[in-house]
A = this chain, B = another copy of it.
Amino acid sequence: MKDNNVIELSAIRTTCQSCGLYQLCLPMGLDQGDMDKLDKVIKRQRKIERGDHLYRMRESFTTVYALRSGSVKTYSTIENGQEQVTGFHLPGELLGLNAVSTKFHTDSAIALETSSVCEIPFDRLENLSHEIPSMHHHLLHVMSEEIQHDHCQLMMIAKMPAEARLARFLLSLSYHFSQRGFSSTKFNLSMSRNDIANLLGLAVETVSRLFSHFQDEGLLTVERKSIEIHDMDGLMNVTTKCASHPLPGKSPSSDSLS
């Protein structure tokens, strides 16, 4: 907390190069010199507790956050006070970049559990990306990914029935956990049912019912925050049950599932 700058900097330098997440949150192919430049730009490493905000809607945009550990929820607040969850974020993700155009944040980011982030002043990051072409490309890359993700999300809410949305959400979580070296079948949800329902455009009760359904079907076991997936293929089948033009050969077991 009260370290002086020298200690901070050296600690961070170690961090970026040794951080197991650098493949996720930083552009690859940086040489030693570039890595040093990047390290110098990163302000400090902050620890945040559950419920702490990384940034809030309408605050001026100065900093980009790289999530190191824990998980973060981003959400927007609408005129009438309603909240729209726009995403859950796991270690390695870059947060805040979507405020580039407005210069102030249009969403808020709140920690779902004890987490730690690296703070990167955006103006310095932008200057750095003038020197390092691959860094520039990486910023575009990250934003492009977010757009694609949002389009998927859009498609899901617009076209898929409730059960397919929740199944897809769980599979997505599973995939992202496995990518980070955790179990793809057994994990804990750091977000509430309310947050899940909000993200998926559903009512809390619907989510709760669907969890129970899935459990009854033997697809998974759920107990509060703890999830264990038993039948990955079965879950995937649920996500594809939203075919509008039913093919000639309909899956025979779909009746027993629905």
Q: Which residues does A use to contact B, with CB under 8 Å?
A: 76, 78-82, 84, 86, 97-102, 106-107, 126, 129-130, 133, 136-137, 139-148, 150-151, 153-155, 157-159, 198, 200-201, 240, 242-245
Contact = CB atoms under 8 A, between A and B. Distances in A.
Contacts of A143: 100, 140, 143-144, 147
Contacts of A141: 100-101
A151 B76 CA distance: 8
Contacts of A153: 154
Nearest to A133: B130
A148 to B, nearest CB: 5
Contacts of A146: 147
A232 to B, nearest CB: 17
12 contacts: A80-B243, A80-B244, A84-B158, A98-B144, A98-B147, A101-B140, A126-B133, A126-B136, A126-B140, A143-B143, A143-B147, A157-B157
A100 B240 contact: no
Q: Which 4 A-B pairs have the closest CB atoms?
A: A158-B201, A100-B144, A150-B150, A101-B144
Which of A86, A137, A155, A243 counts the most chain B CB atoms within 10 A? A155
Given A100-B141, A101-B141, A159-B201, A151 B106 contact: yes
A80 B236 CA distance: 13
A81 B245 CA distance: 8
A84 B155 contact: yes
Q: Most B CB atoms within 10 A — which of A78, A137, A143, A154?
A: A154
Contacts of A201: 157-159
Contacts of A154: 84, 86, 150, 153-154, 157
Nearest to A79: B240
A27 to B, nearest CB: 12
A136 B144 contact: no
Nearest to A81: B245
Contact of A148 (B101, B136, B148, B198): B101
Contacts of A157: 154, 157-158, 201
